Structure 1
Amino acid sequence: MKGNFDFLYSAFEDEKSILSLFDAAPQAILLIDSQSKIVLVNERVLEVLGYNGDELLGQSLDILLPPQYRERHSLMVEKFLATPRTRQMGQGIDLVALRKDGGQIPVEIGLSYIPSSKGVLIMAVITDIRERKQLEESARKAEKLRSELEKEKELRKLKNTFITMITHDFRNPLNAIRLTVDALEIYCQQISAPKTKHFARLRESLHRLETMIEQIMALGRVEAGQVIFKPEPLQVHDFCRRVAEQFEDRRRIRFSYIGQNQPIMLDPILLDHILSNLLSNAIKYSSDDQEVMLEVNEQADHILIKIHDQGMGIPLGEQIFQAFHRGHNVNGIPGTGLGLSIVKTYTELHGGAVSYESQENIGSTFTVTLPRVQA
């Protein structure tokens, strides 16, 4: 090996030969003397470090080192010269080089020595590892994301199991309570004056609990991927009117329809949930003397369903389509914060979208847009 190095050093007299050898290398290469002065560089240095070769010749190697590494580097050079051998520099340490523009880049540096009659030269082979570091960082982030997704998947599975268990355990007692209320009402009618108001309150409370359980179960089915879009031909006018009529005992709903009422492919179960949730909210968040409007408009390629109320409205910035979120102005009004999340999901299963406009103390209008697919 010593003879080969001597030959390389003797070839240094032929500048073109040595530059051709260096310039063919894919890495940046520098020759440094024992005083850490740069005596030769190849063209790859320009691409990696941003310098022209002439700018580096005669300069201390410190010009390529961030200030915080210079003192340590001097000690490493002394140690290398004391026991010179070919090796990687700074094994186990993240090395960085200082570019001409002031930027710092991660590098690997291989060191070799060239003993000669004119002294020892150090050959530093610098490999730019930015791309590798970026790939490693991307892989690290991908692994972290995969791990987080796995945890989220497991948590969702546990949550769905919990929801199923809780809702199942609630259903049976609720059914028993309902039967007891029915029996009590019949018994009270036989022995004394009817307590209609009290039983109405009991039934209303039971209805709220049953609605809450239904919504929690619906959310669980959505998150478990168990809700399947099953379209069938629907007469939209007749369907929407029937849903609206189910709320007549709670509020007058003004219904209007523009279109030919031809059969359109929609999922009746999902559409019933969409309309019922929006109508229920419109009634719940407005007073008894305020009208609720349901407007359906068939257009060329889609159907617009608008539900308008004159209630308390929604404050700006509320994330109303997020599960369990409730507006800060609805304190004291029962609700789960699940209805609109379900509406959004069921609308999107149709390939549609839901939006709203609202002003506090004036009212809200929810618009559901569904694709119009002829049966």
Structure 2
Amino acid sequence: MEADKEPSVRSANAAFKSDSNKFNIIVDSVPNGLIVVDQRGEILMCNAEMEKLFGYDKGELLGQSLEILVPREVRSNHVGHRTGFFAHPSKRQMGAGRDLRGIRKDGSEIPVEIGLNPLETEQGNFVVASVVDITERKKMDLMLLRAYDEVQQKNLEMEQFVYTVSHDLKAPLVTSSSYISFLREDLQAGRYNDLIDSLERVEKANKKMHELIYDLLQLSRTSRMELKVASINLTMLINEIKKDLKDQLDDKKTDLIIPADLPVVLGDAKRLTQVFENLVINGLKYAAVGETNTIEIVQNETEKEWNIGVKDNGPGIPPQYHKKIFALFQRLDTQKEGTGVGLTIVSRIMGLHGGRAWVESEPPHGATFWLCFPKQPQFKENRDGIH
């Protein structure tokens, strides 16, 4: 019986191929890939878009097994799926909830969406498959997902901002108002010796508010800054920072150690100065707690990037805070000066340079704040553009 079936299948395929010539003009005009397959998985017809999609020359796919278009690791399972479809044919979308991939002639893979439609004829049963390349859709989905994550992050930062405005900015205002009342009372009572203390407290509160407003303005500028990209010698750049911060380094009895062989990177000199200055100042605030302190610039190199670290010999940072400290308005020690904005600015500027920032630390052995500089950076667009 099986021997009798084989000639009939061949004649059916031949008849189908003969009839299909009438539809070549129509199917070649369809923008999706179209392919017709018999029960054995032999490709009987495909349009020009299908050949283009998978990188084959005209007519090269005809007579081939359908599994030639399926990734190797799933070919054996695919044969069973094909057999099951012909046993219970129906219109359907393949792989609902799963990522489907096709393999091109050159071995590369593409994400695809496939619709199946059974075709019953006098010559036998076939399946027509419509294949769509969804590479661009995948890219768009990824972009939308990233945009959603960014919006969520912005919403979180906005909540933190509102809290800061209502709390951190309000606090020095309340302090100033209180001591202004004391000043008025002292003046009226003639207690001139008490005026100095009240004035100093008002001055301190105003200074704190000024610092917070300044840092918030700096942070807002990172979302619309204009990057003027040039080659930057990091050794020279950090040495200039050392000169500018000499008084603060001396006051904290801190030595800033800078290697002479730091790499030349692409970036905005002004913004990268801001990055390294923030990290050095951060070390002076939180790590320079001994009689003698060091902040050392360290480096390592991989095939695709340079990593530059700002290392201190302070008390270190517990692991649970390694990510938190880069978030807006986060400070581990609220008794120290600062607003909790500096490290957020560092992270954002490095992001605009196609890099990233992170910290490594094992208390009490200090901390190293790392900056990644890609050797072939992809600078991120911003509102004002990049020069």
Residue aligning to 1:225 = 224
TM-score with structure 2 length normalisation?
0.50
- The Cα offsets for residues 178-202 of structure 1, whole Å up to 9 and x where unpaired, read as 7997998899798443577776666
- Secondary structure at the aligned position of 1:245 is classed as helix
Residue aligning to 1:343 = 346
Residue 109 (structure 1) shift: 0.9
Are residues 1:363 and 2:366 paired?
Answer: yes
| Counterpart AA for 1:216 | L
Q: Tell me how large the CA RMSD over aligned residues is.
A: 5.8
- Secondary structure at the aligned position of 2:193 is classed as coil
Residue 357 (structure 1) shift: 4.0
- Secondary structure at the aligned position of 2:312 is classed as strand
Which among 92, 102, 116 is matched to residue 107 of structure 1? Answer: 116
Which among 74, 78, 83 is matched to residue 64 of structure 1? Answer: 83
Residue 248 (structure 1) shift: 5.2
- Secondary structure at the aligned position of 1:366 is classed as strand
- The Cα offsets for residues 40-74 of structure 1, whole Å up to 9 and x where unpaired, read as x6843982479xxxxxxxxxxx99336xx97xx5x
Residue 175 (structure 1) shift: 9.0
| Counterpart AA for 2:346 | V
| Counterpart AA for 1:243 | L
Check conservation: 1:309, 1:363, Cα contact below 8 A. yes
Residue aligning to 2:111 = none
Taking the TM superposition and a 5 Å limit, the aligned residue runs for 1:1-375 are 18-22=12-16, 27-29=36-38, 43-44=42-43, 47-48=65-66, 64-65=83-84, 73=88, 90=90, 93-94=92-93, 107-112=116-121, 114=122, 123-129=124-130, 131-132=131-132, 135=133, 141-142=138-139, 144-145=141-142, 147-148=144-145, 191-193=191-193, 203-222=203-222, 224-229=223-228, 236-246=238-248, 251-256=252-257, 259=260, 269-286=270-287, 288-289=289-290, 291-295=292-296, 306-315=310-319, 318-319=322-323, 322-324=326-328, 326=330, 330=332, 332=334, 337-347=340-350, 356-366=359-369
Residue aligning to 1:119 = none
Residue 126 (structure 1) shift: 0.8
Q: Distance in 2 between matches of 1:336 and 1:154?
A: 23
- The Cα offsets for residues 268-306 of structure 1, whole Å up to 9 and x where unpaired, read as 64355334422333244347445442446899xx99674
Q: Distance in 1 between matches of 2:150 and 2:128?
A: 41
Q: Distance in 2 between matches of 1:214 and 1:195?
A: 28
Check conservation: 1:297, 1:305, Cα contact below 8 A. yes
Residue aligning to 1:55 = none
TM-score with structure 1 length normalisation?
0.51
Residue 171 (structure 1) shift: 8.1
- Secondary structure at the aligned position of 2:245 is classed as helix
Structure whose CA Rg is larger = 1
Aligned sequence identity (%): 15
Residue 207 (structure 1) shift: 4.1
Q: Distance in 1 between matches of 2:330 and 2:164?
A: 21
Q: 1:369 to 1:149 in 2, by over 3 A?
A: closer
Q: Distance in 1 between matches of 2:213 and 2:274?
A: 14
| Counterpart AA for 2:83 | L
Q: Which runs of 5+ in 2 are unaligned?
A: 1-5, 21-34, 45-63, 69-80, 96-113, 301-305, 375-387
Residue aligning to 2:108 = none
